Structure 1
Amino acid sequence: MFTSFSTALSALGAHTTAIDVVGNNLANLNTPGYKASVVAFSDLVTQSLGAGLGETQVGFGVARPTTIRQFSQGAIQASSGPLDVAIQGDGFLVVRDPNSDSVLYTRGGNLQVNKAGSLVTATGFRLQGWNEVNGVLDTTQPPTDVSVPVGTLRAPVATTNISFDLNLDASATAGPPATTFSTSIEVFDSLGGSHTVSVTFTKTANPGEWTYGMSVPDADLTTPPFTAVTGTVQFDSLGKMSAPLVTDPKPGMVVTGLSNGAADLSIAWSLFNGPTPRLTQFSESSAVSANSQDGFAAAQLVRVGIGDGGRVLAQYSNGQQVAVGQLAMASIRNPESMIAVGNNNYQLSARTALPAVGLPDTGGRGKIMGGAVEYSTVDIAREFTNLIVLQRGYQANAKVVTAVDEISQDTINLKR
C-alpha cells in the first residue's frame, strides 16, 4: 500500500514536467522556425507478488518523461524582410556563436546585417556559407562567415563585346542618294566613362550588299578625328546574312587616346548568336530589335536581399544584380537527438549523426525560400487539449495521495 505514495508522487512529477513542456510550446507559438516538443511517458519496473509467476504485478509508477522535438514542416508565409529566409524540407542553416565560435544549427530565418557587415540571425549568430572573391563564388571551399558588401563601390568593367539584332530593309536602294540606316549603343571604358559607338549601314549597288562604318565621337579623343572602321555585309535571296561567315574573325574597333585617360578600348562586334546571324534583310523597315554590351560603369550598392536557393544578391545603381554570397545548409539524419540551446539554435549531442554541409536542394537538403519565414509548428488546439488531459492526470494522482493518506491513518488507528 505504501508504495502508492511514491507511485503517485512519480506521476505528479511526470505530469508537472509534461505541463512545463506544453507551456513552453505555447510560449513559442509565434517563434519563427520553432519546433514543438512532445512528452513520452514510460512505466517503471513492476513488482511480482505471490509465487513469482507474474499473476500479480504492481508497478512502481512512471519514469521521468522524455521530450521529443518533432521536426515537422512549419507553415511558410511571405515576409517583407529582404533578408528573411525559410527552409522548405529537411535541413538547417549553419551559424556560429559570436562568443564561443562554436557551430550551431537553426531553422530561424529572420536575418539581418551586423555592424561588421556579416549576415547574422535576429539574435546575432553569424550565418555560414560562401562569399564572392574576385568575381568568383566558389562553393567547393569550406564555409565561412557570409559577408554583405554594405556601402561598397563596384568597380567598372570595360566593354569588350557589342551586338545588334536588326533587320535592314530589302527594298532599300543605292540611290542617289543611297539608303542608310544608323544605330548606336552606349559602351564603357576602364574608368567607367561612357561612350557612344555608332554604326551606319549604307546600301550599295550590289544586290543584298551593305557597307557599314563604326565610329565614336571625336570629343572623346585627345587627338581627333576618329577614323571609322568599315566593312561590308552580304545577304542571300532568303534575307539571311551570307558574309561574313561565322568562322570569320569578328569585326571590331580599337579606340586609342581617350580624353579621360582610360585604357584603350578594344571592342568586338558579334554578328552571330551561336550559328545564327543576328542581321537579316527582309522587306520590312530597318530597325533594331535588341542590342547588348558587356561593360558597365562604377556603381553604388543599392540594396541586398536573399533569393530562392539561399543566394545573397546585391543590386547596384547601374541595374546589375550580382550573387555575392551563398548560404550553406546542413543535413542531419536524426535531428530529434540535437539539444536546444536557446535563441532558436540547436547543438549536436553524442547521439547526433555527423552533419553533411552543402548547397540547398542537394544531397537530401531542403530548399531555401527567399522573402519568407517558416512559422512555429505549435498547434494551439492540440496544446490546449494536452494541457487539459495533463491537468486531469495531475488531479487524479493527487487524489491517490489523499486516499492513501486516509487509508494509512485508518490503518494506524487500528492499534488503538
Structure 2
Amino acid sequence: MSTAFSIALSALSANTTAVNVIANNLANLDTTGFKESEVSFQELVNQALGTEQTAPGFGVSPATVTQVFSQGAITSSTGPYDAAISGNGFFVVNNPATGQQLYTRDGNFQVTATGELVTSSGQTVQGWASTGGTLNTSGPIGNIVLPTGAIQSPVATQNFAVPISLNASDAVSTTSPNFSVPMQVYDSLGQQQDLTINFQKTGPGAWTYTVTAPNSSLASPSSPSGTTTVATGSLAFDTSGNLMTPAASAGAIPITVSGLADGAANMSFNWNLYDPTTSAPSLTQYAGQLDSAGNAVQDGSSASGITSITMGAGGQINAQYSNGQNVVVAQLALAAIQNPSSLATAGNNNFQASAQTSTPSVGLPNTAGRGNVQGGALESSTVDIATEFTNLIVFQRSYEASAKVVTTADTLSEDTIELIPAS
C-alpha cells in the first residue's frame, strides 16, 4: 500500500503547485504587462512487478511552471510617460541598489524629482538621452534623465522663406508698394524682429523688392521716415510667371540688420527664394489673382521653457517647449531575447537572465526582431479569468480525487492489518 500512498501524495503535491500558480495568475489579473504562468505534468517511470507485465507507474513528477510570453492587449492610458510594447522584446531597466540589468514589459513609467525615468517600483529605465541637443543612439545605453525645467537658449534666424504670388495685372507704380508681406525673425537674444518685404511693380514681369525694419528696433536708424531699408533688389519673371532673377543658382537673398536697439548681435540671414529640394521658386507672378502670401517658415526661436514631456511613437520621448518647438530628448531601448521562457522572475514585474537565457540583443525598437513601442498606452495582463477559474475547478477535482485515494489506501491498509491473526 505504500506505493499507492506515494502516488497519491505526488498528485496532491502537483495539484497544490497548480492551485498556487492559478492563485498567482488571478492575483495579477490587473497587473500591467504581467505574463501568466502555465503548469504542466509528467508521469514518473513505470515499475515492473515480478515476472508479470503489469506496470502501474510511480505517479506524477513535481509540476513544471512555465511563463507564457504572449502578447497582452494594448490599451490607451493617460500617463504622459506610459509605453507599451507591440511585439517581441522587453524594456531594459537597472536596479539602482544592485546595478543588475533587468527586463520588463511594464511600461508604467514615472519621472523622479531629478528627472530620472523610472518604473513604478523604482528601477531606472535604460536608453539614450540627448546631450547638448544631440541624440546618439549608436552609443551605449544608460539611465534616461529628462531635462525637466530646462531652458532652451534662443536661436537667431539663419533662413527665411515664404510662398508669395504677385498679381501680374497690378499697375506699374512709381510711388508706393503694390504689395507688402510681414517678416518675423529672431535675433541672438531671442527677441522677435518685425521686418517688412515691399514689392513694387516697375514693368511687365519686372518688380523691385525692399526689406525694411522699423526705426524703433534700431539703435541708430538711418532714415527719419519711420523705417530703414536693410535690403533691396530687382525681380524678373518669365512669360509663364516663374522667377528668373535672381536665378536658382543664387538661391537666396542675404539680409543684414545691424545696430539692433536691444543690444543683440547684428542679424544676418538668407531669404530663400527656391525650394532646396525641388528648386521650385517660392515667388511667382500670375494674372487674374490678388497678391497673396502663404505661411512663412524661419529657423529662429526665442528662449523657452519646457511645458510638457510625453512618450511618443517608437519609444521617442518628446519635450514640448513654450515657443512651440517639439524636440526629441530621449529614446527608449528594447532587448530582444530569443528564449524568453528561460527568464527568471525578479519581482516587481521584472525578469532577470538565467544561465539558459540567450544573450539579449539591445537596440532601437522596431529593428532586428524587436517590437515597436506605442506611447500613451499600456499592455494588459495576459491572464484570462474564465480560463483560470476553469483550470481551478479541474485541479480542485484532481486534488479531491487524490485525497480520496489516500483515504482508500489507508482503509485497505487497516483492513489488511486486521486480517493478521493475533499471536
Whether TM-score is above 0.5 comes out as yes
User: Counterpart in 1 of 2:146?
Assistant: 148
Task: Give, in whole Å, the separation in 1 of the partners of 2:179 and 2:324.
Answer: 29
Alignment pair present for 1:281 and 2:285:
yes
Q: Comparing 350-359 with 144-153, which one deviates more in the overlay? A: 144-153
Note closer, same or farther for the CA distance 1:91–1:299 as it changes in structure 2 (3 Å cut). same
Task: Give, in whole Å, the separation in 2 of the partners of 1:307 and 1:17.
Answer: 42
Q: CA deviation at 1:313?
A: 0.4
Render the CA deviation track for 1:84-108: whole Å, top value 9, x for unaligned: 1111001000000121121100000
- How many corresponding residue pairs? 413
Note closer, same or farther for the CA distance 1:219–1:389 as it changes in structure 2 (3 Å cut). same
Task: Give, in whole Å, the separation in 2 of the partners of 1:148 and 1:64.
Answer: 48
User: Counterpart in 2 of 1:5?
Assistant: 5
User: Counterpart in 1 of 2:317?
Assistant: 312
SS of structure 2 residue aligned to 1:363:
coil
Q: CA deviation at 1:244?
A: 1.1
Task: Give, in whole Å, the separation in 1 of the partners of 2:55 and 2:107.
Answer: 52
Give TM-score, length-normalised by structure 2.
0.95
User: Counterpart in 1 of 2:386?
Assistant: 381
User: Counterpart in 2 of 1:210?
Assistant: 207
Amino acid at match of 2:388: E
Q: CA deviation at 1:76?
A: 0.6
Select 1:350's aligned residue among 347, 355, 359: 355
Alignment pair present for 1:339 and 2:344:
yes
Task: Give, in whole Å, the separation in 2 of the partners of 1:58 and 1:79.
Answer: 56
Amino acid at match of 1:20: N
Task: Give, in whole Å, the separation in 1 of the partners of 2:173 and 2:407.
Answer: 116
User: Counterpart in 1 of 2:182?
Assistant: 184
Render the CA deviation track for 1:169-193: whole Å, top value 9, x for unaligned: 1101214556521111211111111
Q: Comparing 249-258 with 319-328, which one deviates more in the overlay? A: 249-258
User: Counterpart in 2 of 1:412?
Assistant: 417
User: Counterpart in 2 of 1:43?
Assistant: 43
Amino acid at match of 1:181: F
Aligned residues of 1:129 and 1:144 also touching (Cα < 8 A): yes
Note the residue ranges of structure 2 that are not aligned, 5 or more in a row: 223-227
What are the residue-to-residue correspondences of 1:105-144 with 2, within 5 Å?
A: 105-144=103-142
Alignment pair present for 1:24 and 2:24:
yes
Query: RMSD over aligned Cα, in angstroms?
Result: 1.2
Task: Give, in whole Å, the separation in 2 of the partners of 1:103 and 1:404.
Answer: 51
Q: CA deviation at 1:114?
A: 0.9
Task: Give, in whole Å, the separation in 2 of the partners of 1:148 and 1:383.
Answer: 41
SS of structure 1 residue aligned to 2:255:
strand
User: Counterpart in 2 of 1:397?
Assistant: 402
Task: Give, in whole Å, the separation in 2 of the partners of 1:312 and 1:335.
Answer: 27
Q: CA deviation at 1:260?
A: 1.9
Aligned residues of 2:251 and 2:273 also touching (Cα < 8 A): no
User: Counterpart in 1 of 2:240?
Assistant: 238
Aligned residues of 1:173 and 1:179 also touching (Cα < 8 A): no
Amino acid at match of 1:351: Q
Task: Give, in whole Å, the separation in 2 of the partners of 1:185 and 1:147.
Answer: 38
Task: Give, in whole Å, the separation in 1 of the partners of 2:267 and 2:318.
Answer: 30
Task: Give, in whole Å, the separation in 2 of the partners of 1:116 and 1:49.
Answer: 72
Among the aligned pairs, what percent are the same residue? 47
- Please list every run of at least 4 consecutive aligned residues from structure 1 whose deviation after the TM superposition is greater than 4 angstroms: 176-179
Render the CA deviation track for 1:39-87: whole Å, top value 9, x for unaligned: 01111122112337xx211211111111111110101111111211111
Note closer, same or farther for the CA distance 1:357–1:336 as it changes in structure 2 (3 Å cut). same
User: Counterpart in 2 of 1:257?
Assistant: 259
SS of structure 1 residue aligned to 2:351:
strand
User: Counterpart in 2 of 1:71?
Assistant: 69
Task: Give, in whole Å, the separation in 2 of the partners of 1:50 and 1:175.
Answer: 122
Aligned residues of 1:211 and 1:232 also touching (Cα < 8 A): yes
